[in-house]
Chains A and B, each alone.
Chain A
Amino acid sequence: MLPYPILTVSLILMWLLLSGFTLGQLVMGSLVAVFASWAMASLRPDKPKLKKWWLLPKLFFIVLFDIILSNIAVAMLIIRGRKKGRKAGFLTIPLELKDRTALALLAVILTSTPGSVWLEYDSYDGSILMHVLDLEEEEQWVATIKNRYEKLLMEIFA
Chain B
Amino acid sequence: MTDSFPPTTSAATPGSAPRLALRGISKRYPSVVANDAVDLTVQPGEIHALMGENGAGKSTLMKIVYGVTRPDAGTIHWQGEPVTIDSPAKARALGIGMVFQHFSLFETLTVAENIALALDHRAAPSTLDARINEVSERYGLPVDPKRLVHSMSVGERQRVEIVRCLLQAPQLLIMDEPTSVLTPQAVQTLFGTLRRLASEGVSILYISHKLDEIRQLCDTATVLRGGRLAGTATPRLEDDAGLARLMIGSELSPCQLPPKQPGEIMLELTNLNLPSSDPFGTHLQRVDLRVRRGEIVGIAGVSGNGQKELMAALSGECLSPDVGAVRIGGQPVGRLGPAARRRLGLGFVPEERLGRGAVPAMSLSDNALLTGAATAPAMLRHGLVSRRAARDFATGVIAAFNVKCGGESSIASSLSGGNLQKFIVGREVRLDPQVMVAAQPTWGVDVGASQMIRQALIELRNRDVAVLVVSEELDELFAICDRLVVIAQGRLSPSRTPAQTSVEEIGSWMSGGFIAAADAKQEVRDAAAA
A binds B: no
Name B residues whose Cβ lies closer than 8 Å to a Cβ of A.
Answer: none
